Structure 1
Amino acid sequence: MNMIVKVCGMTEADNIRQVDVLGVNLIGFIFYPKSPRYLYQIPQYLPILAKRVGVFVNESKENVLMYADRFGLDYIQLHGNESPKYCRSLHSHGFRIIKAFSIAFPKDLLVTSDYEGFCDYYLFDTPTTRYGGSGQQFDWSLLQHYNGATPFLLSGGINSYSAKALKEFHHPRMAGIDINSRFETSPGIKDAERIERFLRELDFSPSNQL
């Protein structure tokens, strides 16, 4: 499958290097202090092949710009209640923006129209009582109600057994997937071999959409 694959929530240098060489498109770092995958210092290795994504939750624009500069971020992923105006402001600084939305009902997709033109990708995830991923899958059939122009990444509980379902899921705006906790040995540490097997089962070929 020709798609974007993002591996999120990485923290440790050697582990980042192991995943970087697999050919994934994006590697995400979480700058949200309440996350168990919070990255509080610069690892000795940062992705060279994959694009770097910083994940933020209701963070001040000044702090986002500071992290973006320190870590050489290519993308800013917003996982809180950030407004369309906030997204437009960061976009105007030249950053590519991924805005996350929790999807439980078709009506949850309506708000995405307010962000058209200010985001490069949306990320559709499972609702949770706290910010960030739940490790659970939502009902992908809800996305048949999405008819916006912005492409999206599919997130929420994707695991090593999801390859078949992903091959069978079709939507004209689906650009790729976001994987995290279901490929971990502990929070922030990914099982690179498991990711490699999953990519093989997915018949993965990196997307050139980035």
Structure 2
Amino acid sequence: MKLKVCGMKFTENMQQVATLQPDYLGFIFYEKSKRNFEGIIPELPKSIKKTGVFVNEYKEIVISLVEEYGLEAVQLHGDESVEYITDLKEQLAERRALFIEENKHIKKKKNQHKISRNEIEIIKVFGIKDEFNFDVLKPYVEVVDYFLFDTKGKERGGNGTKFDWSVLKKYPFKKPFFLSGGIGLEDVEEVKKILKLNLPIYALDVNSKFESKPGVKKIEELEKFKKKCHFERNVMELRNLKF
């Protein structure tokens, strides 16, 4: 099981969170968000995947920001269609192939942000409250790398509340997913319970419950959360190999 810390905004705080070695750091590129990111991403450990979060954004802008910040994952939090995602993936693959060809004899310079040499992961978000029709996911299964289930609320994300996780017992696919929505330090026992179910949970996504203010993460609480959930990692890593 992986850990994603989303809603990063301030350089010093990013560096502090990075010392905890989460698997993903999320940067929200959405002007209406209190955690909208504008600035510089410092040099991060290679093990951390920089993830851009977008809401119904023009594909050209998504691609531009992927290249500018060297993003390794794209999280789509809007109403993006299968056609949108398919076209985005094709364009990202073309730009990546062109970049690799043009730079195959050039060593990467420190702090040089360019499109990742690895395939860009696509994460599609769906909001859940008390029930959910999983049939709507069928067209997306073959075109995304992961789903992400968040709490359906007034905001596109960062509502700080959990949805009814028991709904996920009806999840019918093998496609791995991120579990998100108001997960905090007080939810460790509930996290342990759901991890024991036969579900392809790939990662936990945390955000507002670990903040002192929007975009500023509480390092000590994140560290405690990671340690308390750590013992489930090996079990879930092995389980996910089935998928």
Q: What's the TM-score once normalised by structure 1's chain length?
A: 0.92
Contact map agreement 1:103 1:109 (CA 8 A) in 2: no
Report matched runs for 1:92-111 at 5 Å.
92=90, 93-94=92-93, 95-111=120-136
CA deviation map 1:69-122 (0-9, x unaligned): 011000000000000111122223242100000012544322111101111110
Shift of 1:164: 1.2
Contact map agreement 2:11 2:40 (CA 8 A) in 1: no
Q: Distance in 1 between matches of 2:43 and 2:142?
A: 29
Contact map agreement 2:54 2:74 (CA 8 A) in 1: yes
> Match of 1:187?
214
**Is 2:142 the counterpart of 1:145?**
no
Change (3 A) 1:203 1:107: closer
> Match of 1:35?
33
4+ runs deviating over 6 angstroms: none
Instruction: Look up the equivalent residue of 2:54 and give its one-letter code.
Output: F
What's the % identity of the aligned pairs? Answer: 39
Q: Distance in 1 between matches of 2:158 and 2:125?
A: 10
Instruction: Look up the equivalent residue of 2:222 and give its one-letter code.
Output: I
Q: Distance in 1 between matches of 2:140 and 2:185?
A: 32
Greater RCO structure (CA 8 Å; 6+ sep): 1
Q: Distance in 2 between matches of 1:8 and 1:79?
A: 13
Contact map agreement 1:27 1:47 (CA 8 A) in 2: no
**Is 2:131 the counterpart of 1:113?**
no
Q: Distance in 1 between matches of 2:187 and 2:123?
A: 23
Instruction: Look up the equivalent residue of 1:180 and give its one-letter code.
Output: N
> Match of 2:44?
47
Report matched runs for 1:72-87 at 5 Å.
72-87=70-85
Contact map agreement 2:160 2:183 (CA 8 A) in 1: yes
CA deviation map 1:20-44 (0-9, x unaligned): 121210000000000000012224x
Change (3 A) 1:88 1:183: same
Q: Distance in 1 between matches of 2:199 and 2:155?
A: 30
Count of residues paired in the alignment = 206
**Is 2:64 the counterpart of 1:66?**
yes
| Higher mean C-alpha deviation, range 25-34 or range 95-104 | 95-104
Shift of 1:133: 2.7
Change (3 A) 1:11 1:145: same
Instruction: Look up the equivalent residue of 2:199 and give its one-letter code.
Output: P
> Match of 1:23?
21
Shift of 1:15: 0.9
- SS of 1:161 mapped into structure 2: helix
- Unmatched runs of 5 consecutive residues or more in structure 2: 94-119
Q: Distance in 2 between matches of 1:154 and 1:171?
A: 14
Q: What's the TM-score once normalised by structure 2's chain length?
A: 0.80
